[in-house]
Amino acid sequence: MKGNFGYFFREGSRNMFSHGFMSFAAIGITVACLLIMGTFSLVAYNADYNLKNLQKENAILAFIDETLSDEDAQALQSKVEAVPNVADATFVSRQEARDSYVAQYDEDDLYQDLDPSIFRHRFVIHLRDEGQLSETVEALRQVDGIAKVRADEAISAGFITARNVAGVISVTLIVILLIVSVFIISNTIKLTTFDRRDEIAIMKMVGATNGFIRWPFVFEGLLIGVFGAVIGFGLQWLLYNAIANGIAGSDTLQLLRVVSFAKIWWPVAGVFLLAGVLVGVGGSLMAIRKFLQV
């Protein structure tokens, strides 16, 4: 293999260029598949990213019954933390809540004399899994001493739906499109093997091993896959940035945060390359299998 690497590579490249149109079609379909797969995966990734941010920022507020003393209110901490799915709970006293509220309107004298007694003691709670928000809120409501629980369920549910839908679509599309890519590449390489069936028969007759015959076709598939991955990655980058800029410039979508492509290009490139190589090599192995039974 080592000594023949140059030969395999030359033959693989020659095969690819000798069927220019089919190779172009195979690369094109690989690019399209990777692009669709990448786009849905990145949507799922961003939905997850936003969900985690929401989890960090959008804490649940559990208001404590006004009849409880300060000590009894603070003593609820262990009960709240014992509720399943609660990651952490921070006690905020009336005074702290009042100060925090007033701080938002520090230029407005109207709020400066606000009485802390109109606020309730509360716990600021973060969850482990935002997906179980409703169940956790319900469990918190059952804790003795908790008067009211406030959570922004609608926003959270929206992100969860987006993440799950994008996840399901991306997994389904990945499977379908990878099969389509393998099939198209396999057919392209079948053309090459059909063109070279006499050469393959001669090589078998002089004592070539299946491995020696297979490698140039594997390289052809590999090159198609790698070309598809590189072009697909470039287009994905452009598309992603265009969408990110569109979201950033939109008033209605200000809530969304899009991860900068510069922060995720490396794993995206790795996945594209890996998918391209797998599809290319898989397709070529499928194509050559029949021709080796000479």
Partner 1 sequence: MIRLIDVKKVYDNGTEALKGISFTIEDGDFVFLVGPSGSGKSTIIKLLTGEIVPTAGRVMVNGFSMGRISDKQIPYMRRTIGVIFQDFRLITNKTVWENLSLAMRAVGAGPREIKNRIPYVLELVGLKGKEGSFPDQLSGGEQQRVAIARALVNNPSTIVADEPTGNLDPARSLEIMTLLERINALGTTVVVVTHEKGLVNHFDKRVITINDGMVAGDGMGQYEVVK
CB of 5 to partner 1, least distance (A): 12
- For residues 225-264, which are near partner 1 according to CB under 8 A? none
Sequence-separated (6 or more) residues with CB below 8 Å from residue 274: none
Residues 21-80 close enough to bind partner 1 by CB under 8 A: none
When asked if residue 207 is in the footprint of partner 1 (CB under 8 A), the reply is yes
**Which range, of 88-96, 202-210, 217-225, 244-252, touches partner 1 by CB under 8 A?**
202-210
Q: Does 9 bind partner 1 (CB under 8 A)?
A: no
Q: Which of 101, 212, 237, 265 binds partner 1 (CB under 8 A)?
A: 212
Which one, 123 or 217, has the nearer CB to partner 1? 217
Q: Which of 3, 107, 115, 263 binds partner 1 (CB under 8 A)?
A: 3
Shortest separation between residue 294's beta carbon and partner 1, angstroms: 8
Site string for partner 1, 148-187 (x = CB under 8 A): ----------------------------------------
> Is 20 a residue that touches partner 1 (CB under 8 A)?
no
Cβ proximity to partner 1: between 110 and 205 the closer is 205
Stretch that binds partner 1, among 57-65, 78-86, 199-207, 279-287 (CB under 8 A): 199-207
**Cβ proximity to partner 1, 19 vs 126, nearer residue:** 19
Task: Examine residue 274 and tell whether it contacts partner 1 (CB under 8 A).
Answer: no
Q: How far is the CB of 201 from partner 1 (least distance, A)?
A: 8
DSSP secondary structure string for all residues of the chain: --TTHHHHHHHHHHHHHHTHHHHHHHHHHHHHHHHHHHHHHHHHHHHHHHHHHHHHHS-EEEEEPTTS-HHHHHHTHHHHHTSTTEEEEEEE-HHHHHHHHHHTTTT-GGGTT--GGGS--EEEEEES-GGGHHHHHHHHHTSTTEEEEE--HHHHHHHHHHHHHHHHHHHHHHHHHHHHHHHHHHHHHHHHHHHTHHHHHHHHHTT--HHHHHHHHHHHHHHHHHHHHHHHHHHHHHHHHHHHHHHHT-STTTT-----HHHHHHHHHHHHHHHHHHHHHHHHHHHHHGGG--
The correct pick among 199, 234, 254, 274 for binding partner 1 (CB under 8 A) is: 199
Tell me how far apart the alpha carbons of residues 225 and 209 are, in angstroms, rounded to a whole number.
25
Q: What is the contact surface with partner 1 in residues (CB under 8 A)?
A: 3-4, 7, 198-199, 201-210, 212-213, 294
